[in-house]
């Protein structure tokens, strides 16, 4: 093992044993997220004590704008949410609706269904959104337009 890896490992073990170590470890995870491949990122995020909102920010998804579904780390975040939450689709849907507003997010999903790279994810989220609307009493297109689009 290389000396720098040993030093890093020793430092991480030391930090993990202290109360402040948990925060330092999360910051180290966040910093390394941008440098690792997707499988490594997923594992590193999963090993941290980051909340789903913190992971969203650390992956810089809050800066992705309306191209979030094609952002390189969106799948990393959704896999992390799947690892830590019982109902991941609801968590993802709620976060994105809050981030963009329900009407804007619905429009973004519709646009994303037209792009081959994002179509599968967009359709999955769109179906979850339709189910949410139905459960909230919006059982017709008119009800959705009245309640979501405020027209």
Q: State pLDDT tens for residues 17-75.
A: 333 344 344 445 444 544 555 667 666 766 677 899 999 998 999 999 989 999 989 99
CA atoms in the 13 A half-sphere facing the CB of 88? 13
pLDDT at 60: 92
Residue 63 CB-density burial (10 A; 0-12 exposed, 13-18 middle, 19+ buried): exposed
Whole-Å CA distances, 141 to 128, 130, 146: 16, 10, 9
Kindly tell me if the per-residue pLDDT of 98 is higher than 90.
Answer: yes
Dump pLDDT digits (tens) for 105-145: 999 999 999 999 999 999 999 999 999 989 989 878 888 88
Q: Which residue has the higher pLDDT, 3 or 150?
A: 150
Domain boundaries, the chain: 3-149
Is the pTM value of this prediction over 0.75?
A: no
How far apart, in Å, do the first and last CA atoms of the chain sit? 64
pLDDT at 135: 92
Q: Please, which residues have CB within 8 angstroms of residue 108's CB and are 6 or more apart in sequence?
A: 66, 68, 69, 100
């Amino acid at each position: 093992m290389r000396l720098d890896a040993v030093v890093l490992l020793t430092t991480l073990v030391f930090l993990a044993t202290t109360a402040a170590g948990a925060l330092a470890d999360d910051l180290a995870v966040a910093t390394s997220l941008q440098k690792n491949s997707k499988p490594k990122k997923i594992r590193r995020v999963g090993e941290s004590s980051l909340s789903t909102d913190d992971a969203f920010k650390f992956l810089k998804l809050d800066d992705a704008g309306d191209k979030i579904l094609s952002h390189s780390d969106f799948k990393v975040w959704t896999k992390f949410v799947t690892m830590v939450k019982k109902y991941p689709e609801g968590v993802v849907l709620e976060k994105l609706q809050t981030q963009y507003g329900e009407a804007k997010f619905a429009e973004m999903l519709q646009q994303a269904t037209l792009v081959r790279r994002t179509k599968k994810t967009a359709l999955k989220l769109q179906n979850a959104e339709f189910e949410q609307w139905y459960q909230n009493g919006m059982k017709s297109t008119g009800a959705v337009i009245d309640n979501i689009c405020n027209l």
